[in-house]
Amino acid sequence: MIDFIKRFKNFLLSERNYSDHTIRAYMSDLSQFGHFLTERKVDFGNVRDIDIRAYLARLYGNNSKSSISRKLTTIRTFLDFLIREGKITSNSAKLVPTPKGERRLPTFLTVDETFKLVETPDISSVLGLRDRAILELLYSSGLRVSELVGVCLKDLNLSASFVKVLGKGGVERIIPVGSKAASAIEKYMDKRPELKPKEDSLFLNSVGRRITVRSIARIVKKYTGISGIPKNISPHVLRHTFATHLLGSGADLRAIQEMLGHRNLSTTQRYTHASIEKIMEIYDKTHPRA
């Protein structure tokens, strides 16, 4: 079965175009389930739905419903792969219902908080200019952090105000860049040669290499602390903020879906709940008989 798992990993990379992070999660999920099956003296080729139900039951209490759902998705995907490879004939994981997830509203910043955050970096240095441009672009275009680090110079067209990114599943999309973000990027680009670039990535680290996802997270965390905003802010919160502010200003939900790169409109519809919650909060505070 080890050989099939290796081939499955290559399948996720070459055919599904999954990110390294997603593939690591799939491999970890498979390893955990494999240990469970070993305890029950069951092979992947003979796994039954009752085995999968027992495994999920063990996970309850120590894992969120979304985490359990992901682990079930991993098992389903792997068993489908084994069918394709001729190892098994049916997918027993499809007999197991997906746990209903908690409906949590996405965290987002107010307009004032957003402006405060993006204006925090000290732009007297090239790294400060870079950080300002990163924050502005995250908020301006709602990019996933993996998309942001993947942007190369050739992907950016400031004269036409757009950036081209490669999203999930290798799907390319073109996203508008706001004037504030464009201005911040131009100022950073003027000083970018000081980093002695060793590649054509838009955002570089201090030694001229492509900046990493972890570095972006640290940058956002750093300026959250400096700005004094009392929220747990990640790069993804700026993506949520982008969508929430657009929706609150009357943008079409389908247009937001396109810009975010969501396959399903239901994923984008989370932001309508955030918008409704804000409306109710304003109503409660202002209506005389609320």
Q: 168 an active-site residue?
A: yes
Selecting among 9, 16, 168, 180, the annotated active-site residue is 168
Selecting among 71, 239, 240, 245, the annotated active-site residue is 239
Q: 236 an active-site residue?
A: yes
Beta pairing partners, 90: none
Selecting among 18, 139, 188, 271, the annotated active-site residue is 271
Selecting among 94, 187, 262, 278, the annotated active-site residue is 262
| Residue of 280, 279, 284, 277 whose CA lies nearest to 105 | 277
The total of other beta-carbon atoms located within 10 Å of residue 71's CB is: 23
Q: Is 70 helix (H, G, I), strand (E, B) or coil?
A: helix
Q: 7 an active-site residue?
A: no
Q: What would the two tokens of residue 158 be? A: 């400031």
Burial class (CB in 10 A: 0-12, 13-18, 19+), 213: middle
Buried b / exposed e across 158-196, counting CB within 10 Å, b at 16+?
Answer: eeeebbebbbbeeeeeebebeebbbebbebbbeebeebe
Selecting among 173, 191, 236, 270, the annotated active-site residue is 236
Residues 108, 274: contact at Cβ < 8 Å?
A: yes
Map tokens 């081209």 to a residue.
Answer: 164
β-pairing verdict for 156-157 and 162-166: antiparallel
Selecting among 144, 192, 240, 245, the annotated active-site residue is 144
Burial class (CB in 10 A: 0-12, 13-18, 19+), 10: exposed
Q: 262 an active-site residue?
A: yes
Q: Show which residues are catalytic.
A: 144, 168, 236, 239, 262, 271
